[in-house]
A = this chain, B = another copy of it.
């Protein structure tokens, strides 16, 4: 990114050579992002981030479809939920089971009154991978346009938009070690589409605004590195760290719940509840040990409400407020993972000593 931040100030829409060099760099990034999700470069629209991608996709679906509900899961990210709630149409919130997996039983019924569907590929709190393939197949069979929020999944598991048959799919660069402030929206070639941001007609009229060359180049390289990591079975090394972390925590403490169906989680995510420990207190103690984690998702931090994801999974409110999400990446080591587990064990112990022993029944919600 640095050359583009330092000297590459040309407007990629300009007619001079430096502008064409910027254009070429953006085109290359478009190929790199397309490769990560299995799409064609012409189907990749760069945006200002994942939230803009999601809002753009849902805005387009809202404007181009007739009456009917927006069908989403009850555990979508707030970018999807707040967006569809603002529409002048009904919202069907599909339930999940105790493992945080989408329940498909009522789907056929819901699709009958639907205008379009949006389903996340993996949940951003629990990391649980959703049955999107079956879901989108049913939606397509019902003739409904589809969007997937793949922001949490991209770079962590393989994505193939063609195999999925999805019409639009959102990704965000900073979720796979790219820069903040840049994302992409896959828009299937030939799909009717209405832009959210209008103006100079950049991105083939699909997203106006002077292109963020440095950010886009950074996203492209991050996509290439993430794809290489995935192809080199990087997921296995990450899940090994995550699993070692969980084994040590679960072995060292009582009253810990591991949330989310462990047979279908992203390799990097661990979502744990600690009976008798307020998450807010744990965050402070862990921060002192340089462990940066979150209660629910960062987008929910500061909110006093328990996570809607956990409530949808049937986790009781007190336990939902005692939950932390830990994320691992290829920039971590096994030593990091084990040290994090030690820190968690110490912090929970310390907090329970302060707050009373707090050890209640251990509730296991997932296999």
Binding site for B on A (CB under 8 A): 1, 5, 9-11, 13-19, 47-52, 54-55, 77-80, 82-83, 86, 172, 174, 179-182, 196-202, 208-215, 280, 283-284, 286-287, 291-295, 297-302
Contacts and interface: CB of A to CB of B under 8 A. Distances in A.
Given A5-B179, A11-B298, A16-B292, 20 more contacts: A9-B174, A14-B301, A15-B301, A16-B291, A18-B292, A48-B48, A49-B212, A51-B197, A55-B196, A55-B197, A77-B200, A78-B198, A78-B200, A82-B198, A82-B208, A83-B198, A83-B199, A180-B212, A180-B214, A200-B300
Contact of A209 (B48, B200, B280): B48
A292 B198 contact: no
Contacts of A9: 174
A210 B180 contact: yes
Given A78-B208, A180-B213, A16 B283 contact: yes
B179 A14 contact: no
Given A14-B294, A78-B201, A181-B181, A52 B287 contact: no
A362 B164 CA distance: 62
Given A16-B287, A174-B9, A199 B47 contact: no
A138 B212 CA distance: 37
A274 to B, nearest CB: 16
Given A49-B48, A209-B48, A299 B14 contact: no
26 contacts: A5-B179, A11-B294, A13-B302, A14-B298, A15-B283, A16-B287, A16-B291, A16-B293, A18-B292, A48-B49, A48-B181, A49-B210, A50-B210, A55-B197, A55-B198, A78-B198, A79-B208, A79-B209, A82-B199, A172-B210, A180-B210, A180-B213, A180-B214, A180-B215, A181-B212, A202-B299
Contacts of A172: 210
Contacts of A200: 51, 77-79, 297-300
